[in-house]
């Protein structure tokens, strides 16, 4: 899991965004190195997902601010991400590798 904040970095999150950028690079390098073994490697970049931990540690204001930046005007839930992950792990995605799939409600519009 990576994050769409890599493309729209909030200023105080230097370490977090740097770590997610490293995951994006690792995804690319692993995809190149493992393709010969028929192993695909992809990442999913989500927005702020309302997990139990996020709800406990994130103010409602931040969830609302995130929704305002998205085209889909609701809080992202775990199911919004798990479907993408399930697809990438399925045989239907057997020819997809080295990609970062952005599932963030349209906040980055890449």
Could you list the active site residues? 16
Q: Which of 100, 81, 92, 91 is nearest to 31 (CA)?
A: 100
Nearest to 3 by CA among 20, 15, 18, 26: 20
């Amino acid at each position: 899991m990576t994050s769409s904040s890599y493309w729209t970095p909030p200023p105080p999150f230097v370490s977090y965004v740097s770590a997610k950028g490293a995951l994006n690079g690792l995804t690319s390098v692993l995809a190149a190195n493992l393709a010969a073994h028929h192993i695909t490697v992809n990442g999913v970049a989500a927005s702020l997902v309302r997990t139990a931990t996020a709800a406990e540690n994130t103010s409602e204001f931040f969830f609302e601010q995130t929704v305002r930046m998205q085209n889909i005007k609701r809080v992202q839930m775990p199911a919004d991400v798990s479907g993408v992950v399930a697809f990438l792990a399925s045989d239907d995605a057997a020819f997809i590798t080295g990609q970062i799939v952005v599932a963030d409600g349209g906040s980055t519009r890449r």
